[in-house]
Homo-oligomer: A and B are copies of this chain.
Amino acid sequence: MKKCTRNEAIFLIATEDRKGLLSIISSFFYEHNFNIIKCQQYSDLVENKYFMRIRIDLADMTITRQHLEESFDGLAKKLQLDYTINYTADVKKVAVMVSKTSHCLYDLLMHYSEGELDCEIPLIISNHPDLELVADRFQIPYYCFPMLPGKKAEQEAQVTNLLKKHHIDLVVMARYMQVLSDDFISLYPNRIINIHHAFLPAFQGGNPYQRAWERGVKMIGATAHYATADLDEGPIIEQDVERINHENTPDELKNIGKDIERRVLTRAVTAHLEHRIITAGRRTIVFPR
């Protein structure tokens, strides 16, 4: 289901802000004879931090990956850059976790089938058997690990073993209705995306649509964020809202919310897979396409 046919390396860089960074880093690539397809920067003047996303064309690369990486690492050490290198040729492996609700799963699989998600989805994991039918429709293996009382650690061990075995890069919680333990989360820092069915920080916790109805808000929303130990407090990747009115019952809010959740989660996963996100504390830098 790989969409990207370009052969690129995408560097995500964070460092302290100072003069000359753009000149030095862009010159590095010029001297190594690379074409910069796109370079995006952001100076956080509040925290004096510098962030950069740089896409390099590898089509006419004359050196090896290893050579490129070693050379860049030399520069990074000198400049004290935090960075990752991501190759579009290395397709990311994504596991989707679900419970009983299928709408976000369907939306992901639909975009995946259309070639709009640049990844492989080798498996779907659930704590319930209900959505096996959906997985079957898209010919994706479905693993069900029920959550038995007092057996959370065991269940999570089964899940994480499976994730490791499949070399999963990104975990997407597409309405997986279990709180992951800190241990689980620490295995995938900034690599677990969750969808919360409210416009955070409003309506944290359960039953957001019911509470939105009771409060009489005029718009409802959804929020995709990286999972952290602190529930609903992870760095926000994407949000969206839709206008509602007094006639909408709590049930209708839930239905309207489904379409918001779908698109918010799919957009967040897309941004992650396109290597457009850098996390900085509780905030994310999401470079536009």
Contact call A103/B107, Cβ cutoff below 8 A: no
Count of this chain's copies in the oligomeric assembly: 4
Contact call A37/B43, Cβ cutoff below 8 A: yes
Contact call A38/B27, Cβ cutoff below 8 A: no
Roughly how many angstroms separate A46 CA and B253 CA in the complex, as a whole number?
A: 13
Q: Which of A65-73, A89-97, A181-189, A211-219 contacts B (4 or more CB under 8 A)?
A: A211-219
Q: CB < 8 Å: which of B26, B250, B283 contacts A216?
A: B283
Across-interface contacts of A241 in B (CB, < 8 A): 219, 241
Quote the shortest CB–CB distance from A244 to chain B (angstroms): 10
Roughly how many angstroms separate A252 CA and B46 CA in the complex, as a whole number?
A: 12
Q: How many of chain A's residues have a CB under 8 angstroms from any CB in B? A: 71
Across-interface contacts of A138 in B (CB, < 8 A): 137
Q: Confirm or deny: A86 has a beta carbon within 8 angstroms of a beta carbon on chain B.
A: no
Across-interface contacts of A236 in B (CB, < 8 A): 215-218
A230-261 contacts to B, CB under 8 A, are: 235-241, 245-250, 252, 255, 258-259
Contact call B284/A46, Cβ cutoff below 8 A: no
Chain A positions near chain B (C-beta within 8 angstroms):
19-20, 22-24, 26-27, 29-31, 33, 35-39, 41-46, 102-103, 106-107, 110, 113-114, 116, 134, 137-138, 199-203, 213-219, 221, 235-241, 245-250, 252, 255, 258-259, 263, 282-286, 288-289
Across-interface contacts of A259 in B (CB, < 8 A): 263
Contact call A216/B282, Cβ cutoff below 8 A: yes
Give 7 pairs: A residue, B residue, CB < 8 Å, sorted on A.
Answer: A19-B35, A22-B26, A23-B36, A110-B110, A201-B203, A217-B236, A246-B286
Contact call B218/A201, Cβ cutoff below 8 A: no
Q: CB < 8 Å: which of B35, B106, B217, B283 contacts A246?
A: B283
Contact call B201/A216, Cβ cutoff below 8 A: no
User: What would 15 more interface pairs be, CB under 8 Å, given A201-B202, A214-B282?
Assistant: A19-B35, A23-B29, A23-B36, A27-B27, A45-B249, A103-B110, A106-B110, A200-B202, A216-B282, A217-B239, A219-B221, A246-B283, A246-B284, A252-B289, A259-B263
Known: A23-B23, A23-B27, A137-B138. A245 touches B38 (CB 8 A): no
Q: For A238, give the chain B residue with the smallest CB separation.
A: B218
Q: For A233, give the chain B residue with the smallest CB separation.
A: B215
